[in-house]
Amino acid sequence: MAPDSLPTHSDVVAAAQRLRGLVRRTPVLRHDAIDAAAGARVFIKAECLQETGSFKIRGATNRLRQIPPEQRAAGVVAFSSGNHAQGVARAARLLNMPALIVMPSDAPAVKVNGVRADGGEVHFYDRNAEDRIEISERIARERGAVLVPSFDDVHIISGQGTAGLEFASQMAELGETLDHVISPAGGGGLITGIALALEGASPATDVWTAEPEGHDDWARSLESGQIERNAPGTHSFCDAILTPAPGDITFAIGNRLLEGGFVVTDEQVAEAMRAAFLHLKIVAEPGGAAALAAALFALPNVLKGKTVGVIVSGGNVDAADYAKVLAGA
């Protein structure tokens, strides 16, 4: 993608104005026990407390608000394992637009129910045998609807980046500056949006990805300087961030602005979920807890003793699965 067509820090600032009053300013939390375990000063941006339970409402609302009024009656189509789905469904309801979401048949019930609660229609597909993009494009054509990608879209990226603008502003209010920020990364809309936000708001801050073992496409891509894909058939319970590879737009941004990536195990993510519950009193879904797991278990010496920001990006987890994690099952 041509550099002049990529989103910029100014686009994130414009998105923040567009979203004013429509999304929540999520809190920044900390706890001495987490600092001690990480060996750093850790500040957690709790996007799990956002409307719909994740950061995704930011990008979805920014994207849908820019659809011309005369095109809104045909609605939108999106594909997602759940959090983007809920963000699009909520934004569509707020703007009085129909929404259909293509979701994997094994998506957590809490996320499917969230879409339906906001009036969204759900079309299930088999993530191991069917192509969700192909299905979504076909349905959008049939309906004359607007296809809303989950991450590789300039308006989605700009909207997600508003979390980074907030984070920098909140740290300034505390008299602090972030040395580093770690965020979960799937397709990369959130991490690259945050990087764009901090490029202008906190340019000395290094930004890092966090991914589950076996789905470390961002870490490998940043190391090689080209898009690397995950091997087919790999598994993790971090369902929200299991994308095949970085997007073309997101990687073009990330390759310039991201410092590198951390890789964590499912067991470390589960421990981070327990730590979030015990010390911060927040619910973190598996994918949403990946960056906290990286802070607790994977920080290299260069980050020790530093001021480290962590994005807990979502909290939509099935109650039964969450109970098993808390019980250590």
* Structure confidence at residue 285 (pLDDT): 96
pLDDT tens by residue, 37-56: 999 999 999 999 999 999 99
Single-letter code of the amino acid located at 316: N
- Rounded CA separation 118/115 (Å): 5
108 — pLDDT class (breaks 50, 70, 90)? confident
What does pTM read for this prediction? Answer: 0.93
Residue from 59, 64, 27 nearest 315 by CA: 27
Sheet architecture: strand order including 41-46:
28-29, 41-46, 307-312, 180-184, 206-212, 260-264
3-state secondary structure of 154: helix
pLDDT tens by residue, 230-249: 988 888 999 889 889 999 99
pLDDT beyond 70 at 1: no
- Which domains does the chain show, CATH number per domain? 3-54+155-327 (3.40.50.1100), 57-151 (3.40.50.1100)
pLDDT beyond 90 at 329: no
Q: Percentage of the chain surpassing pLDDT 90?
A: 87
186 — pLDDT class (breaks 50, 70, 90)? very high
pLDDT tens by residue, 130-163: 998 899 999 999 999 999 998 999 999 999 999 9
CA distances from 328 to 109, 270, 275, 317, 320 (A): 21, 8, 12, 16, 13
3 — pLDDT class (breaks 50, 70, 90)? low
Q: What mean pLDDT is reported for the chain? A: 95
Contact 281, 13 (CB under 8 A): no
pLDDT tens by residue, 15-37: 999 999 999 999 999 999 999 99
pLDDT beyond 80 at 2: no
Q: What is the dihedral of CA 76, 190, 192, 93, to 10 degrees?
A: 30
- Rounded CA separation 86/77 (Å): 12
Q: Which residues pair with 181 in a beta bridge?
A: 207, 309
Cα 247–chain centre separation:
13
4 — pLDDT class (breaks 50, 70, 90)? low
For the chain, the straight-line distance linking the first and the last C-alpha, in angstroms and rounded, comes to 45
Q: What Rg do the C-alpha atoms of the chain give, in angstroms?
A: 18
CA distances from 9 to 24, 187, 191 (A): 20, 19, 13
Q: Which residues pair with 125 in a beta bridge?
A: 104
Sheet architecture: strand order including 99-104:
121-125, 99-104, 76-79, 146-148
274-290 mean pLDDT: 98
Single-letter code of the amino acid located at 267: E
Return the DSSP state at 4. G
* Structure confidence at residue 229 (pLDDT): 96
Contact 291, 263 (CB under 8 A): no
pLDDT tens by residue, 264-277: 999 999 999 999 99
CA angle 21, 154, 120 (to 5 degrees): 60
Q: Which residues pair with 264 in a beta bridge?
A: 212
pLDDT tens by residue, 69-82: 999 999 999 998 77
